[in-house]
Amino acid sequence: MKLRSTLLSTLSASVLCITGSAALADCADPIKVGVLHSLSGSMAISETTLKDAMLMLIEQQNTKGGLLGCELEAVVVDPASDWPLFAEKARELLTVNEVDVIFGNWTSVSRKSVLPVIEELNGLLFYPVQYEGEESSKNVFYTGAAPNQQAIPATDYFLEELGVEKFALLGTDYVYPRTTNNILESYLQNKGIAADDIFVNYTPFGQSDWATIVADVVALGEDGKQVGVISTINGDANIGFYKELAAAGISADDIPVVAFSVGEEELSGLDTSNLVGHLAAWNYFQSAESDANTDFIAAWKAFAGEERVTNDPMEAHYIGFNMWVNAATEAGTTNVDAVRSAMYGQEFPNLTGGTAVMLPNHHLAKPVLIGEIQADGQFDIISQTTEVPGDAWTDFLPASAVLKSDWKELGCGMYNVENEICVQLTSNY
Amino acid sequence: MAGAQPYPKVRLRACHPFIESLLMRSALIALILMICSAPAAVAQTLQPILQTHAVEIAKPSRRSVGEALNTITRSGVPQATAFLEQWSKKNIWQRDDGVFLIGVADGDILTLTDVDTQATFSAPKSNYKRLKPNGGVRRLIGTALVQFQLIDPDLSRREAAVASIARRPEAAQLNPLLTSIDAETDPALKVRKIQLANFLSALFAKDPADRIAAINILSTDTSIESRAVLNQILSVKSGVADTQPKGNIAAIHNPMDAPDTYYAALVNEGLAPAKQTAADIKRALEFNIVNGRIAGFSLALMNDPDTRETAYAVLAANGLVPALITDDLRNTALNEHVFYDLYDEPNVDITAVAKTALGSVTSRVATAQVADLTLDALSLASIFFLAAIGLAITFGVMGVINMAHGEFIMMGAYTGYVVQLFVPNYTMSLIIALPLAFAVTFGAGVVMERLVIRRLYHRPLETLLATFGISIALQQIAKNIFGTQARPLTSPDWLADAWVFNDVIQISHIRIAIFVLALMFLGLIIYILKRTRLGLEVRAVTQNSGMASSMGIDPDRINMMTFGLGSGIAGIAGVAIGLYAKVTSEMGSDYIVQSFMTVVVGGVGNVWGTLAGATMIGFGQKGIEWLNPSNTLAAQTYMILFVILFIQFRPKGIVAQKGRAAGD
C-alpha cells in the first residue's frame, strides 16, 4: 500500500515535470480556468456580471503573455441558480474539463453545495462574495468579506458615529442573513444593547410588500431612541424595500439604513434621489479614488459597455485572480497543492489603495469602506479603515470563539485553541 | 416687522394659551439678549478659528467635534453660518497647507471661495481634499445651525432648523424656538414650530406648571415624536436597596414573582453571594476528595443526592466551601431588599400627568394600528386581485390553465419601462404606458391563443406544460433583451408620496392608485361579462361551445378575444405592480402562485369569487404577519397551509358555481 502510494506520487511528479516542460516548450493544452456563475435563474442578476469580469481578467492576462508561457482558457458553465446543480457543474469542471482553478458561486447555499465535491477532488475555488463566515475549507480561498470585515465595522459605525440605540435587523430568509444576524445580535448585546431594542425580521426572496415592515421599523422610535436598520436583504427585494422607505418619507437623517448586499449594480435598478444618505458597507466602491481603480473601470467599460458599473465582488475576483496568477508563477505550476502553499502571504494592491494580503486562514486582509448613496447611484466613501484581517470563525458566538483556522502552520481549518486539537479537516458541517 | 404688531392678532387653532404666555416671556428675554450681544460682532476672520480645530474639522467624529462646533458658533463671526452649511453639504475642501475653502468640483477643476473674503478662484482638484462629515456629525452641525437658521428669511433654512430640533431636542433650543414662532410667515411651518415648542416645553420648561400643561396637550397626539417625549419623561432606572429609596418611585416589585431573576440582580449588585449550580457543587465535592472520601463519606455513597447534600453541608460547616444557598436563604435575602423602579424625573406631578397622557395615547395608537393594518390588508388584497383578475377570465371563465400569465404581467411592466425611456415626463409616460401595455399583452395573448392554446382545449395537462414552457421562454427572452438587472419604473411625483393621516395610519399613493385601478377593473369586467354582447357570447361559448356556435356565434373568435382581454388586463396590472415593486424578468413567477391561489380560493368562474379570494388572502396574510412580525416568510407559509385546508372543506371556493354552469 505504502509502496504503491510512493510509486504513484513519484509517477505523478514525473508526469508533472513532463507536462511542465512540455508546456513551456509549445503549450499544446492551454491552462483552463473554470467560471461557475449562474447565467440564468434568480441569481443571474448578480452573477452574470462576475462571469463577464472573469472573461475580462483572463483576456487581459492573455494579452500580457498568459501564464507560465501558456494561454489561459475560460471554461464557462451555467449552474442556473440551482444549488444542487452547482455541485454537478463543479464535478464536471474538475473531471471532464480538468480545469486548474474555479472562480465562482455567489450565495452561501451554492458554496455549501460545491464544498464536498471540491474537497473530494482536491480542486481550488475562489469565492468572491461577502459571506457569513463560520467555515474554512482547505480548497477554498474566500476573497469576499468575512463578518468582521463588513458587518461588525458597519455596526460599530452605527453605534459610534451615528449614535444608534435601537436596531432593526432585516434580512432575506436564508443562511447568510440568519447567521450574520445571529452574530450581530450577540455582538450588540455584548455592547449593552437590550434584547428588546433589537427587532429582527426575515422575508422571502423577491419580497415586494414592505409597507407593514417599514411601519414596524418606524414604530421602534416611539421611546425616543435613535433607530437604525441593518439590512441583509438580498437581490431584487431591495427595490421594493427602498421604494417603500422613500414613499414613507423616511430620510437617512431620521432612520439610517446600512446594507450589506446592495452595491452599484443593485442601485442601477432604482431611482436613488430619495435614498441619498443611506449607507452600504463593502471593501470596495466604484467611487474609490486610485489610479488602479481608474484603469480597472476604464477597462471594464471598454469590455462590457459604457453604462456598466463595477462592484465589490468584481474587485474580489480581480484580487483573487491576480494572486492566483502570481502564486502559480512563483510555484512554476498550476498544481493545486503547490499553488495553495504559494498563496499564503501573497500580496496584491487593492483597487481602493493599500494592499490585500492572503492569510493562512484563506481570507484576505482588506480595508472596510462605508459609503453613502448619492443621487447618481454611486457611493460617497465617508469612512475607510486600514486593512482588517478576515476571521473565518467569529469571536462573537461562544461556540466559534475558540476555533481558529490556519492551513499553513497547523494544517487545519477548524482548530480548537482550548483543547489544542483539530476538530475536523473537511467542511461538511 | 412682525414685532410691531400686537401679539394676540396671530392666533392659531393649535396654539394653546400657555404657549402664548411662554412666547411673551421668551420674546422679552430674546430682545434683551439681542441688545446685549449686538456690539460683540466686530469684523473677524473665521479661518484662524478653523485652524485651531483643524484636526477635528478635517476628520470629524460625533464624539470629538462638539468643541470645534461650540467655538465656531460662539465666535459670533457672521461667515460661520455659511461655513457650517457648506460643511454639512460636503462642500468644504482642505488645501495641502491646511487652509479650508468652500469649493464646487467640476471635473478636475475646483471653483473655490475663501471662507472670509468670499474671493473666488479656480484650481486643479489634486491639491485639495474634500471633507466628508458623516451622518452623525451632520446632525450635530444641524443642531449648531439651529440658532442662526430659525429666523432666516429663507424658508428652506427655517425648515432645516426645525427638522434639526425634531431630531435632537435640546433644552437650549426652547427659547429661540418660542421667539421664532411669532415671526413665522409660513402657516404649515408655524404649526410645526408650535408642536415642537410643545414637545420641548414638556421636556425642558423651567416651571413645572408649564410642563404639565404641555404634557396634557400631548395626550391627544399619536405621533411617534409625542410618544417619544412622553416615554423620555417616564424613563426609569431599576435598582435594589436595603430600604425604600427617596425620590419619585415608579414601581416597587415583588421579588417573589420571579425569585431567581431578582436574586441574580442582587448578586450582580454584590449584595448577596452567588447561588451554586449543580456543576459548582460537583466541582466543590471533587476538589475536596481526601483519601477517597469526601467529608468522611465514601465516594460510593455519592450516588445518593441526599448524601451529597449532607457531605456538602459538612464541608461548608468546616469552612472548606461557601455555604449552600437554599431557597429559604434566597427568599430571606430577597425579603431584606427592596426592588424598585425610580423615575429620572424627580417631580411626582409631572410623571403622574405623563403616565395618564401616555395611557391615553397608547389606546389611541392601538386603534390607529388596527386601522393601519386594515388599510395594509386592503392594499395587499387589491394587489392580489389586480394580478389575478386577468387569470379569473382565462382560467376562471375559459378554464385554460395559463402558466405564462405571470409573464404577461412582466411584459406589461417592461412596456412601462420602455415607454419611460422615450417619454421622460413620468405622468405622460404612465398615461401612454397603460393602454400600450394592454395592447402589447392583448396581442401576445391573441398570438398565444391562436398558436398554442387553441390546439389544446380540453387537454388541461398539455396546456399546463405548453404554457409553462412558454413562460420559461418568455423569461429568457426578457433576460436577453433587458439584461438580468432590475429596471427602474419610476412613478410620477404625485404618486411617489404617501397619504399620511397620522404617524401610524399612512399608505403610499401608489397603493391607493392600485386599489382604485383594481376597483375600476372589477367594474369593467363585470360590465363586459354581464352587460355587453361580447360578455353574453363569452358566457355562451364557455358554457356550451357547440350550442353557441349553432346559434351563430364564432367560438374561435370569442375564445381569442376573451384570452386577449385576460392577458391585456395582466399587462396593465404589470405596469401598476412595476411601479410599486420592481421590474425584473422573474417578477411574473412571484405572482403566478398567488394568482392561482386567489382564483381557486375565490371560486373558479366568478369574478366576485376572485374578489372574495383576494380579500381573504390579503387579510389572512396581514393578520398572520401581525401575530408574528419577525418572519414574513412564515406568514406566507401559514397562509398557503390555510388555503389548502380551506379547499379541503370548500373545494369549489368561497363563491361556488351552482347548477349547469358548475360543469359537473
- Together in a domain, B383 and B433: yes
Portion 209-248 of A in contact with B at CB < 8 A: 209, 211-213, 215-216, 218-219, 221-225, 236, 239-240, 243-244, 246-248
- Together in a domain, B40 and B117: no
Question: What is the helix (H) or strand (E) element at residue A73, kind and residue range?
Answer: strand A72-77
Question: Helix H segments across A96-137?
Answer: 108-120
Domain CATH number, residue A182: 3.40.50.2300
Within an 8 Å CB–CB cutoff, is residue A156 touching chain B? no
Question: What is the helix (H) or strand (E) element at residue A67, kind and residue range?
Answer: none
Residue A272 domain flag: no
At CA B400, angle to CA B395 and CA B405, rounded to 5? 65
Q: B231 to chain A: nearest residue by CA?
A: A223
For the CA atoms of A238, A239, A244, A246, the dihedral, rounded to the nearest 10 degrees, stands at 110
- Inter-chain residue contact A45 with B476, CB threshold 8 Å: no
- Inter-chain residue contact B137 with A161, CB threshold 8 Å: yes
- Together in a domain, A298 and A244: no
Q: Mind listing the pLDDT tens digit for each residue in B250-274? A: 888 888 888 888 888 888 887 888 7
- Inter-chain residue contact A203 with B632, CB threshold 8 Å: yes
- Together in a domain, A156 and A143: no
Portion 604-633 of B in contact with A at CB < 8 A: 622, 625-626, 629-633
Selecting from A40, A162, A270 the residue whose C-beta is nearest the C-beta of B476 gives A40
CB A390, CB A142: distance < 8 Å: yes
pLDDT higher for A129 or B502? A129
Q: What whole-number distance in Å separates Cα of residue A28 and Cα of residue B259?
A: 80
Domain count, chain A: 2
- Together in a domain, B402 and B462: yes
Selecting from A202, A256, A269 the residue whose C-beta is nearest the C-beta of B632 gives A202
* C-alpha dist (Å) from residue A173 to A180, A201, B633, B634, B650: 12, 9, 7, 10, 32
Within an 8 Å CB–CB cutoff, is residue A360 touching chain B? no
Within an 8 Å CB–CB cutoff, is residue A289 touching chain B? no
Within an 8 Å CB–CB cutoff, is residue B64 touching chain A? no
Selecting from B163, B224, B632 the residue whose C-beta is nearest the C-beta of A207 gives B632
Selecting from B138, B227, B636 the residue whose C-beta is nearest the C-beta of A204 gives B636
Within an 8 Å CB–CB cutoff, is residue A420 touching chain B? no
Residue A270 domain flag: no
Mean pLDDT value across chain B? 83
Question: Helix H segments across B506-586?
Answer: 509-531, 533-543, 545-550, 555-580
Pairing of strands A101-104, A125-127: parallel
Q: What whole-number distance in Å separates Cα of residue A172 and Cα of residue A203?
A: 5
- Together in a domain, A20 and A112: yes
Portion 42-71 of A in contact with B at CB < 8 A: 42, 44-45, 48
Q: A45 to chain B: nearest residue by CA?
A: B484
Question: Helix H segments across B219-347?
Answer: 224-233, 259-268, 278-287, 305-317, 327-335
Q: B169 to chain A: nearest residue by CA?
A: A224
Residue A428 domain flag: no
pLDDT number for residue A13: 43
At which of B575, B590, B605 does a domain end? B590
Closest Cα partner for B88 from B139, B125, B22, B46? B139
- Together in a domain, B46 and B169: yes
Portion 298-317 of A in contact with B at CB < 8 A: none
Q: What whole-number distance in Å separates Cα of residue A148 and Cα of residue A390?
A: 7
Residue keyed to cell 497647507: B97
CB B280, CB B359: distance < 8 Å: no
- Together in a domain, A359 and A393: yes
- Inter-chain residue contact B135 with A236, CB threshold 8 Å: no
- Together in a domain, B122 and B137: no
With contacts defined as CB-CB under 8 Å, which chain A residues touch B486?
45, 236, 239, 266, 269-270
Residue B350 domain flag: no
At which of A239, A259, A279 does a domain end? A259
Q: How far is A221 from chain B (nearest CA, A)?
A: 7
Residue A273 domain flag: no
Best to test chain A binding among B409, B583, B586 (most A CBs inside 10 Å)? B586
pLDDT number for residue B24: 56
If you compute the radius of gyration of chain B from its CA atoms, what whole number of angstroms results? 36
Q: What whole-number distance in Å separates Cα of residue B318 and Cα of residue B295?
A: 9
- Asked if the model's pLDDT at residue B202 lies above 50, the reply is yes
Portion 274-333 of B in contact with A at CB < 8 A: none
- Together in a domain, A29 and A121: yes
CB A363, CB A356: distance < 8 Å: no
pLDDT number for residue A60: 93
- Together in a domain, A219 and A298: no
Q: In the numeric block, which cell numbers belong to residue B617? A: 388572502
B17 burial (CB, 10 Å; 0-12 / 13-18 / 19+) is: exposed
Q: How far is B554 from chain A (nearest CA, A)?
A: 41
With contacts defined as CB-CB under 8 Å, which chain A residues touch B629?
201, 212-213, 216
B535-552 average pLDDT score: 86
- Inter-chain residue contact A221 with B500, CB threshold 8 Å: no
Q: A224 to chain B: nearest residue by CA?
A: B228
Per-residue burial over A201-239, b if 16 or more Cβ lie within 10 Å, else e, is bbbbbbbbbbbbbbbbbbbbbbbbbbbbbbbbbbbbbbb
Residue B234 domain flag: no
Q: What whole-number distance in Å separates Cα of residue B470 and Cα of residue B482?
A: 18
Best to test chain A binding among B580, B617, B624 (most A CBs inside 10 Å)? B580
Q: In the numeric block, which cell numbers belong to residue A5? A: 502510494
Per-residue burial over B175-208, b if 16 or more Cβ lie within 10 Å, else e, is bbbbbbbbbbeeeebbbbbbbbbbbbbbbbbeee
Domain count, chain B: 4
- Together in a domain, A214 and A349: no
Task: Say how many CA atoms lie within 13 Å of A78 toward its Cβ.
Answer: 9
Q: Is the ipTM of this complex over 0.85?
A: no
Question: What is the helix (H) or strand (E) element at residue B629, kind and residue range?
Answer: none
B373-386 average pLDDT score: 91
Q: How far is A382 from chain B (nearest CA, A)?
A: 6
Selecting from A221, A236, A270 the residue whose C-beta is nearest the C-beta of B584 gives A236
Q: What whole-number distance in Å separates Cα of residue A68 and Cα of residue A174?
A: 41
Q: What whole-number distance in Å separates Cα of residue B131 and Cα of residue B127?
A: 13
* C-alpha B56 chain-centroid distance: 34
CB B347, CB B248: distance < 8 Å: yes
- Together in a domain, B384 and B506: yes
The domain in which residue A181 lies consists of 151-259
Question: What is the helix (H) or strand (E) element at residue A160, kind and residue range?
Answer: helix A151-160
- Together in a domain, B475 and B514: yes
pLDDT number for residue B663: 52
Q: A274 to chain B: nearest residue by CA?
A: B496
Q: In the numeric block, which cell numbers belong to residue A102? A: 474555479
What lies within 8 Å, CB to CB, of A68 at 6+ separation is A20, A23, A24, A31, A328, A329, A332, A333, A334
Residue A429 domain flag: no
pLDDT number for residue A278: 92
- Inter-chain residue contact A40 with B380, CB threshold 8 Å: no
Selecting from A211, A265, A372 the residue whose C-beta is nearest the C-beta of B379 gives A211
Residue A6 domain flag: yes
Q: How far is B584 from chain A (nearest CA, A)?
A: 8
Within an 8 Å CB–CB cutoff, is residue B476 touching chain A? yes
Within an 8 Å CB–CB cutoff, is residue A273 touching chain B? no
Selecting from A203, A240, A382 the residue whose C-beta is nearest the C-beta of B582 gives A240
- Together in a domain, A352 and A405: yes
Instruction: Sheet with B338-343: list strands edge to edge.
Output: B236-241, B338-343, B249-253
Within an 8 Å CB–CB cutoff, is residue B345 touching chain A? no
Question: Among A312-321, B479-488, B610-619, whose mean pLDDT is lowest?
Answer: B479-488
- Together in a domain, B502 and B549: yes
Selecting from B135, B227, B498 the residue whose C-beta is nearest the C-beta of A248 gives B498
- Together in a domain, A109 and A244: no
With contacts defined as CB-CB under 8 Å, which chain B residues touch A266?
486
What lies within 8 Å, CB to CB, of A336 at 6+ separation is A100, A101, A122, A123, A124, A139
Q: Mind listing the pLDDT tens digit for each residue in B114-148? A: 888 888 888 888 888 888 888 888 888 888 888 88
- Together in a domain, B199 and B257: no
With contacts defined as CB-CB under 8 Å, which chain A residues touch B510?
247
Collect the ranges in chain A with pLDDT lower than 50.
1-25
pLDDT number for residue A324: 95
Residue B356 domain flag: no
Cβ-Cβ pairs closer than 8 A, A with B, add up to 152
- Together in a domain, B274 and B194: no
Residue keyed to cell 452641525: B141
Q: What whole-number distance in Å separates Cα of residue B377 and Cα of residue A117?
A: 47
Name A201's bridge partners.
Answer: A170
Q: What whole-number distance in Å separates Cα of residue B329 and Cα of residue B324?
A: 9
Within an 8 Å CB–CB cutoff, is residue A200 touching chain B? yes
- Together in a domain, B388 and B429: yes
- Together in a domain, B517 and B572: yes
Within an 8 Å CB–CB cutoff, is residue B511 touching chain A? yes
CB B514, CB B386: distance < 8 Å: yes
Confidence band for B7, pLDDT divided at 50, 70 and 90: very low
At which of B590, B624, B639 does a domain end? B590
At which of B555, B590, B625 does a domain end? B590
Pairing of strands A166-172, A227-232: parallel
Residue B183 domain flag: yes
Q: How far is B222 from chain A (nearest CA, A)?
A: 10
pLDDT number for residue B38: 43
- Inter-chain residue contact A256 with B135, CB threshold 8 Å: yes
The domain in which residue B393 lies consists of 377-590
